[in-house]
Chain A
Amino acid sequence: MEKLIILPFSIGFIYLLGILGFRVVKWVGGLSRLDKLRLIHSFKTRRFFDSIKEVFMEGLLHRKIFRKNPVLGYMHMSLAFGWFLLIVVGHIEVMVSRQSLIAPIYLPVFFRYFETDHSFMLSGIFSFLMDLLLLFVLSGVALALLKRFKKKLFGMKKTTRLKTGDRIALLSLWMIFPLRLLSEGMSAGLYGNGSFLTSTLGHIFGNLNSETANLSLWTAYSCSLGFFFAALPNSRYMHIPTEILLIFVRNAGVKLKKRNNTYTNIQVFSCSRCGLCLDNCQLSAAGINNTQSVYILKNIRNHNLSDEQLFNCLLCGKCEVDCPVGINTIDLRITQRIESTRQYNSSYKYLEDGPVPKADTVYFAGCMTHLTPGIIASMKKLFHLAGENVWFMDEEKAPCCGRPLMLAGQYEAASKLIANNTRKIIGSGAKKLVVSCPICYKVFKEDYELANVEVVFHAEYILNLLQQEIIALKKGSDRIIYHDPCELGRGMGMYEPPREVLRTTGKVIPIKNEKHMAHCCGGSLGNLKISQVERSLLRNQAVEDYLRYRPDVLATACPMCKKTFSRHPNLKVLDISEAVANALQISSDQESTKEKMKLEIHEFELI
C-alpha cells in the first residue's frame, strides 16, 4: 500500500522516457544520411568527450549564463547541477546502504520514506551531504521565485511570456524541492534519519508529525515530480533533454540546411525561452517586440510563423552572441525565409556573358557603394597609388553580388547572379578580388567558388599597402570610434584589420559596445519590414551611445552603415578607405602641381 506513493512519479517518469525516446529516434532518424554518419563517427572520436564536457559545462554548470550575470548563472547552476548531484549522491547512498550496485530507480527519490532505519555505513555523512545539496537546490528555487518579480537583479530587462504548459511545468518544478524538504523533515522528525536541515525542520514540526501527514507530504512530492515530468515535453523545459542532443549533433559537425529538417527541430526545442536574446535585440528601440528570436523559435515550433515576423529582423546576429544554448538564430531564420519564398519566381535571362577584360585585380564596389561615391573615389586613389592593374567590375553595370537576395531567403535566385559574376571574375584571369562592402564580402567569401582568386576585404588590402610601405599616412589627432558592421564583425569575424588601418590615421578609442557586441546601424538589408522612421530610431540609439565618447570621427567599413549614419546631423562619418585617402601623404610627383592648383582655386571659390 505504501508503495503507491511512487505511482505518480513512476507514471510521469515512464511517460517522459517514452516521449524522449520517441523524439530522439525521430529527430536523429530525420537527419540526412551523411549527417547520421557524422554523428555515429563523432562517437568514436575525441569529439565525444568534447560533447560530454560541454554538456557538463553548459547543461549543468551554465558557464555562459555565469559570464552574462553571476546571479542568473548561480540560479541555473544550483537548480541543474544541484539536482544532478542529488540524484548521483542519492544513488550512491542507496548503493552503500543496500550494499548492492543495483537499486530500483525510485528508491533514491523516496529513500528517506522507505529507509527508516538509518544506521548503515557513513549514513550520517550521506544525510549531511543530501541536506546540503537540497539546500543548494532550494537556494536556486528561491532565486527563481525572486527573478519573477525582480528581473533586474539578474541583469535582465525583459522575460518571455509563459504558456499554459510552461505554467504547469514551472509550478510543479517550484513545488518539487520545497515538498521534498517538508517530506524529509517530517520523516526525520519521525524516524531520526535526517541531518542539520531536515532534523531541525522535524523538531519544528514537533507534535504535527504523524504517519498520515508524512504519507500525504510524500504523495504530494511524488505528484509534483510526476506532473513536472508529464508537462515537460510540452513545455519549455523540453530544452533540458534536447540541449544535450543538440550538443552531440552540433559537435558532430551537423549544420542547418537550406530546408527545414529535424535538426531545425532539435534547435527549436533546445530554446529555453530564457529571453536573453530579447535584451540584445535593438528592434525594441523601435517598439517592435514580437519578432525576436525566442518568439520566432516558438512560432516555428507551433507552426504559426508569419512573414511579418520572419522578415522583421535585422539579421545583425546580436541575439546569437548571448544565447546560452548556442542556437544558430540567424541561420535558422534564413532557413525559414528560404522555406517561405520557395515558390517565388525570378528570371535573370538578361544577364550577359560578354567579353571580360584581363586584369591582375578585380574591384567589386557593390550596389550600395554607388550611393557613397566617396568610397569609390578613395579606392580608385589607393589603387592608383599602388600601381594596381585593376578592373573595376561594376563601374558601369554588373549584377548584384547575390547577398541581398539570400538575406531575403531567395538562394536559388541568388545562385544565378553568383554564376554570372563567377564566370566574369575567373574570366578576367585576376588573382585577387577586392571588395569594399561587407555584404558583398560575405557572399564572395562563403558562397562563391572562385578557384584560386583570393577574396580580399578593403581593410586587409589597405593594411597590406601600409605594411608594405606602398602608402604612407600622416597620423592625425582625431578621436575615432570604429563601428563594426554586422556582416563584417559578427558575420565574418573581422574585427582587427579595420582598427589597425584606422590606428595609422588617428586615435581609435575603445568603447563598451564594440566587436561582437557592436550596435547595428539600423540600415540592415536583412530587415524587409521596418520603415525608415523606425530605422532612424535604431540609428539614433547607436549614435547616442557613440556620442558619449565625444568622437571626432565615426569610422566604419560598410557603405550601408555609412549611409545610415551620415544622415544623422552633427556626426562626421567616414569609411576606412576615406579616412586613409584623407590622411595620405602625397609627394609632389604623385599629384601634379597643376592639378593641385586647380583644387585650391576650387576650394577658394567654394568658400
Chain B
Amino acid sequence: MNNKHVAVIGGGIAGMEAASVLARQGLKVTLIEKQANTGGKLNDWDHLFPDFSSPDELVNSLANKTKDSGVNTVCNTEISRIERNGKRFELRANQDVRFFADAVLVASGFNVFDATIKEEYGYGLFGNVITSVDFEKRMKKHGQLHTIQGTAPKRVAIIHCVGSRDAKVGNTYCSKVCCITGIKQAIEISEMLPDCEVFCFYMDLRLYGSKFDSLYLQAQKRHKIQFIRGRLSEAAERADKSIQIKAEDTLQGRPLRMTVDMVILLVGMEPGVSTSQLIQKNQMTVDENGFLKSANMHCARNQSTQEGIFMTGTAICPMAVNETLENARSAATEIIHFFENRRP
C-alpha cells in the first residue's frame, strides 16, 4: 500500500485533515489547493462555535500536521479535470500541470450563498445589511463592529435561513450551522456592546449539536438575546441609514416592524463551483441539493458514485467544523480500506 498515491483536491480543513491521516499511514499524498494558502474559509473566520475557540490555531495545527506527515502541498492550482486511466487517475489543472493518483479525494468545500439574490433584504444595497461572513471578517480585521455611519449599533437583527430552506432561491435544504452561528455572533455582539439589543429572527431553531443548546440557553439567560419566531419578509433603509425590517411575530400572530441599526444575514452553504466543474467533465453525480452524492448514505458516505473517487467535508453536505474533521478521518479510513481490498 505504501507506494499508492492519493490526490486530495481542496486544502481546507477537510482536505488537510484527511491528507495528514493518509500520509501518516504511509501513503503518498498530494494536497492541491486553488488559493495561495491552505486553510480555506476558516482563514477568514474569527471564532468558532460553540466554544469561541480560534480557527487560526486549528488551521495552524492542521498545517503542521500535514507538513510533518509528509504531505506534498501544492497551492495556486485548480483541478479542472479528472481522467481515469485503467486503475489510475490523471488530474489536470488549468496550466498544463498534471497529477497522477491511485485514488482521488474531493474536498472542494462549499460556496457561501450570494445574499444579493434576496434583494428584498437589501444586501449590497443598504450599507447596514451585512452577512454572517462579513461579520467574521470584520471582527477578525478590526475586532469591533460599527455601522456604516461609524457608530456602535444599538440594535441588531440577526436573520436566520438566508439562502437555506428557501425554494425561491432553489435551496430547500437546511445549512445546519447557521442557527448556532447566529447565536454565537449574538453573544459576541452582546459581550462587545452590552447596551446593544440583539434579536434573532428564526423559522425553526435547529441546534442539533452537543453544547449548542447550552449556548442557546446562555444567550437567553446571560445576554438577554430575544428570539422572534418569524421570517423576515423585507427590509427598507431609512433616511438615517437605519434599517426597517418586517416580519411576522408568528407566536403573537401579528405582523411586526422594527427599526434596527444593523442587520446580519446568516447566509447558508451552497455546493461549490469547482465541484460543479468536476461534475460536468467527469460525470460525478450530485444529490437533489447539488452536493456530491455518496454511494451509500450510511455505510459509504465518503465514496462517490465512481470507484476510486472519494469525497469529504462540505462537498457532501453542510457540516460544522468538528463534523468536517471527523468526516475527513472517516474518508481516510475508507480510502485505506479501498487499497487493502484491492490487493490481489
Q: Which residues of A contact B (CB under 8 A)?
A: 370-374, 376-377, 395, 532, 563, 566-567, 598-599, 601-602, 605-607
- Does A373 lie within 8 Å of B234, measured CB to CB? yes
Kindly list chain B residues whose C-beta atoms are within 8 Å of the C-beta of A563: 119
From B137, B138, B149, B235, give the contact of A373 (CB < 8 A).
B235
The answer to whether residues A373 and B122 also contact, given A532-B168, A566-B117, A567-B168 and a CB cut-off of 8 A, is yes
The answer to whether residues A377 and B127 also contact, given A605-B134, A606-B134 and a CB cut-off of 8 A, is no
Kindly list chain B residues whose C-beta atoms are within 8 Å of the C-beta of A567: 117, 168-170
**Docked CA distance A370–B236 (Å):** 8
**Docked CA distance A127–B76 (Å):** 89
- Does B148 lie within 8 Å of A602, measured CB to CB? yes
- Does A373 lie within 8 Å of B168, measured CB to CB? no
Q: On chain B, which size bracket covers the interface?
A: 20 to 34
Of all chain B residues, the one with the shortest Cβ separation from A370 is: B234
Of all chain A residues, the one with the shortest Cβ separation from B244 is: A396
Majority SS at the chain B contact face: mixed
Kindly list chain B residues whose C-beta atoms are within 8 Å of the C-beta of A598: 127, 148-150
- Does A607 lie within 8 Å of B137, measured CB to CB? yes
The answer to whether residues A373 and B120 also contact, given A532-B168, A567-B169 and a CB cut-off of 8 A, is yes
- Does B120 lie within 8 Å of A371, measured CB to CB? yes
Measured CB to CB, the closest approach of chain B to A53, in angstroms, equals: 51
Of all chain A residues, the one with the shortest Cβ separation from B241 is: A598
Kindly list chain B residues whose C-beta atoms are within 8 Å of the C-beta of A599: 127, 148
Instruction: Say yes or no for B167: interface residue by CB 8 A criterion.
Output: yes
Kindly list chain A residues whose C-beta atoms are within 8 Å of the C-beta of B170: 567
Q: Which 5 pairs across A and B sit closest by C-beta, in order of nearness?
A: A371-B120, A602-B148, A602-B127, A373-B122, A372-B119
Measured CB to CB, the closest approach of chain B to A367, in angstroms, equals: 11
Of all chain B residues, the one with the shortest Cβ separation from A533 is: B167
Kindly list chain A residues whose C-beta atoms are within 8 Å of the C-beta of B141: 605
Instruction: Say yes or no for B237: interface residue by CB 8 A criterion.
Output: yes
Q: Which residues of B contact A (CB under 8 A)?
A: 117, 119-120, 122, 125-127, 130, 134, 137-138, 141, 148-150, 167-170, 234-237
Of all chain B residues, the one with the shortest Cβ separation from A598 is: B148
Measured CB to CB, the closest approach of chain B to A376, in angstroms, equals: 8
- Does B119 lie within 8 Å of A377, measured CB to CB? no
Measured CB to CB, the closest approach of chain A to B117, in angstroms, equals: 7
Measured CB to CB, the closest approach of chain B to A350, in angstroms, equals: 14
- Does A377 lie within 8 Å of B120, measured CB to CB? no
Kindly list chain B residues whose C-beta atoms are within 8 Å of the C-beta of A532: 167-168
**Docked CA distance A374–B234 (Å):** 12
**Docked CA distance A199–B169 (Å):** 74
Measured CB to CB, the closest approach of chain B to A538, in angstroms, equals: 16
**Docked CA distance A400–B120 (Å):** 18
**Docked CA distance A373–B237 (Å):** 9
Kindly list chain B residues whose C-beta atoms are within 8 Å of the C-beta of A370: 120, 234, 236
**Docked CA distance A532–B235 (Å):** 23
Identify 30 residue pairs between A and B in the complex whose beta-carbon atoms are under 8 Å apart, listed by A's number. Answer: A370-B236, A371-B119, A371-B234, A373-B119, A373-B120, A373-B125, A373-B126, A373-B235, A373-B236, A373-B237, A376-B236, A377-B125, A395-B236, A532-B168, A566-B117, A566-B119, A567-B117, A567-B170, A598-B127, A598-B148, A599-B148, A601-B148, A602-B127, A602-B148, A605-B134, A605-B137, A605-B141, A606-B130, A606-B134, A607-B137
- Does B119 lie within 8 Å of A374, measured CB to CB? yes
Measured CB to CB, the closest approach of chain A to B77, in angstroms, equals: 23
**Docked CA distance A56–B170 (Å):** 54
Kindly list chain A residues whose C-beta atoms are within 8 Å of the C-beta of B149: 598
Kindly list chain B residues whose C-beta atoms are within 8 Å of the C-beta of A377: 125, 237
Measured CB to CB, the closest approach of chain B to A564, in angstroms, equals: 11
Of all chain A residues, the one with the shortest Cβ separation from B235 is: A373
Measured CB to CB, the closest approach of chain B to A547, in angstroms, equals: 17
Kindly list chain A residues whose C-beta atoms are within 8 Å of the C-beta of B122: 373
**Docked CA distance A370–B234 (Å):** 7
**Docked CA distance A373–B245 (Å):** 12
**Docked CA distance A601–B127 (Å):** 10
**Docked CA distance A371–B125 (Å):** 13
Of all chain B residues, the one with the shortest Cβ separation from A562 is: B119
Measured CB to CB, the closest approach of chain B to A202, in angstroms, equals: 71
**Docked CA distance A598–B119 (Å):** 22
Q: A376-B236, A377-B125, A532-B168 are in contact. List 20 more A-B contacts (CB 8 A).
A: A370-B234, A371-B234, A372-B120, A373-B119, A373-B126, A373-B234, A373-B236, A374-B119, A374-B125, A377-B237, A532-B167, A566-B117, A566-B119, A567-B169, A598-B127, A598-B150, A599-B127, A601-B148, A602-B148, A605-B137
